[in-house]
Amino acid sequence: QVQLVESGGGLVQAGGSLRVSCAASGLTFSQYAMGWFRQAPGKEREFVAVISRSGRTQNYADSVKGRFTISRDNAVNTVYLQMNSLKPEDTAIYYCAAGGSSSYYVVPGKAQSDYNDWGQGTQVTVSS
């Protein structure tokens, strides 16, 4: 079975930085694009970032562009989200997701349906 486990969430002051990680097992990690989503209280789950199988291509939501960086280390089956210049509006549960089989050919988009497997999430809280 596929398992995605997020870690690294916590409480940080506005303007600070945090790196969340997602460790994957049960799949050939390098064969799948990986994405990050987040969900704030009272809001729908929203796309944050995605990275291609090789790591060469990275796409971001406009709300985080220039502040967040997605990366991956295929040697240790882990995808990361480096979050800088954090704002209170970034407060959410952050979820890791593995792309569907088509992500072997095409980088997934922002739709949740582009992804097959999800982690349980890690809480990120940004205080002012």
Length of the chain: 128
Instruction: State the residue for tokens 């040697």.
Output: 75
Residue 42 has a pLDDT of 94
pLDDT digits 0-9 by tens, 37-51: 999 999 999 999 999
Whether the Cβ atoms of residue 9 and residue 123 lie closer than 8 Å to each other? yes
Please provide residue 116's backbone torsions phi and psi, each rounded to the nearest 5 degrees. Answer: -100, -35
> Cα(7)–Cα(81) distance, rounded to whole angstroms?
11
Strands 122-127 and 10-13, bridge-based pairing: parallel
Residues of the chain with pLDDT under 70: none
